[in-house]
Amino acid sequence: MHNLLKKCPKCKNYYLEEETCPKCKERTINPNPPRFKPETIEKTVKGIMNKADEETLEKIINTLFKEETGTKKNK
Ligand SMILES: [Zn+2]
């Protein structure tokens, strides 16, 4: 369940399984960020909310927070 999230390099928005950004028609990339800030998560969730069903959304949030927790654990 990876590569669910896509990021547009142009407008920096996150999308769910979009090959191209609906706004800029720019090809999206896999974000794979080293860590997520809370505001990034909020932005991400907002960006994909209208597309994702609850289950998918939960998976994504879990993934994001797992990354956060993993960073904290590693002290
Ligand atoms: Zn875009």
pLDDT mean over 7-16: 89
Going from the C-alpha of 14 to that of each of 30, 47, 56, the distances in angstroms are 10, 6, 14
CA 49 / ligand 1 centre spacing (Å) = 16
pLDDT tens digits for range 29-47: 887 655 667 777 777 777 7
Q: What is the mean pLDDT of residues 59-75?
A: 62
The label of the residue with tokens 């996150």 reads 14
pLDDT given at position 21:
93
Q: What is the pTM of this model?
A: 0.47
Q: How far is the CA of 10 from the centre of ligand 1 (A)?
A: 5
Domain ranges of the chain: 5-73
So what's the pLDDT on residue 1?
Answer: 45
Give 20 Cα–ligand 1 centroid separation in angstroms. Answer: 8
With 70 as the cut, is the pLDDT of residue 75 above it?
no
What is the reported pLDDT for 8? 92
| Look-up of token digits 């959304």 | 57
